Chain A
């Protein structure tokens, strides 16, 4: 079955860079859009952006200047990089995928990233 397994640090210092990886099994990365979504503690979901095997990317305009989502099909992984983080970036980060129509059938387990010195 399809599995998305997230990895990365749970603590990042302010002004530094947040990096998370999502390892994919059970589905070809030549399909679908590979997406990151976050959820601040006690709050709702926020779409961060996606990448596609064609090289296409699309980011939330509110984060676009600080975010990169990349795909490594040779490793069956995709990654999130968020630069210059602040406490407002503290959230549970999810990787997700599952369609070409903007909905998400499969999700990673979530990673709580806390921005604090």
Chain B
């Protein structure tokens, strides 16, 4: 369907590195459109973490980094902290369906 696919959950111990994948196709991530990432803590609005594939807004720790290759993108969190427990969503424009798509969402658990 018209979604960007993410793993439902990832987990890691404090201090570890985790990555979240976001898989699309040639109509969205595989184009020149940028991929953006958001963090959503329970009961709150999403917060922009990464825009334009790999750019961190001011105030976002450099533990968060983004990348894109072909029809997939990834968010990496290094030095995992308890406060990173949240849901994470990728986002990209899709030219075939003429709308912005969000990923299916990934819950990060800190063990």
Contacts and interface: CB of A to CB of B under 8 A. Distances in A.
B64 interface: no
A26 interface: no
B48 A102 contact: no
B102 A47 contact: yes
Give the dominant DSSP class at B's interface.
Answer: strand
24 contacts: A44-B103, A45-B38, A45-B102, A45-B105, A47-B99, A47-B100, A58-B99, A61-B97, A99-B51, A101-B51, A102-B33, A102-B34, A102-B91, A103-B34, A103-B48, A103-B52, A103-B91, A104-B38, A105-B48, A107-B45, A107-B47, A108-B45, A109-B45, A110-B44
A94 interface: yes
Is the interface on chain A under 10, 10 to 19, 20 to 34, or 35 or more residues?
Answer: 20 to 34
Interface residues of B, number: 24
A44 B51 contact: no
A102 B100 contact: yes
Contacts of A60: 99
A46 B98 CA distance: 13
A98 interface: yes
A49 to B, nearest CB: 8
Given A47-B99, A103-B34, A98 B104 contact: no
B26 to A, nearest CB: 18
Nearest to B58: A105
B7 interface: no
